Amino acid sequence: MSCVEVAVIVDIDHAPDRRWLEVADVIITSRAVGPPQWIEATLRHFPGAAIAAMARRGGESLLGLRDGRLVAAAAPAAPLAAFLHGWLVAGNPVEALGGTRLGARGWAGLGSAVRIRVGRWDEVNEAPHLGNLDIREPFVDP
């Protein structure tokens, strides 16, 4: 038995046609922007998107979900977002990923397993840390 999960992932900075953003499941950016503010604005502007993902310095990523949850890992944004989208579509809880290590062969930019952190982007002003990660600043996963 085999299964294929398809998600439309669009880089907001390089969309060949802006209409793709209207149908995207995941919207990513490679620009350095304030995570909570960008995630909130992107998800509000594009109501069809389930995930807003930021690529950050050094291959790190922050992924915001519509319900306020945040997933962080030192992995490229697009493949991490594709994985997370498939995980959620399969009905798996995002909280189960917290503290786990993810690794995949053939993932561009992923040299070894990375630790996934789960928190909330909509509570950043009150608690700007996700575990020991300050999500307002770039981070390096140990």
Domain presence at residue 1: no
Alpha-carbon span 130 to 106, nearest angstrom: 28
Taking 60 as the threshold, does the pLDDT of residue 79 lie above it? yes
Mean pLDDT estimate for the chain: 76
Domain presence at residue 82: yes
**126: confidence class by pLDDT, cuts 50, 70, 90:** very low
**8 Å CB contact between 63 and 52:** yes
> Which parts of the chain fold into alpha helices (H)?
19-23, 35-45, 77-89
What is the value of pTM for the model shown? Answer: 0.77
Domain presence at residue 4: no
Domain presence at residue 102: yes
How many domains, the chain? 1
Structural domain for 46, as ranges: 9-134
Domain presence at residue 141: no
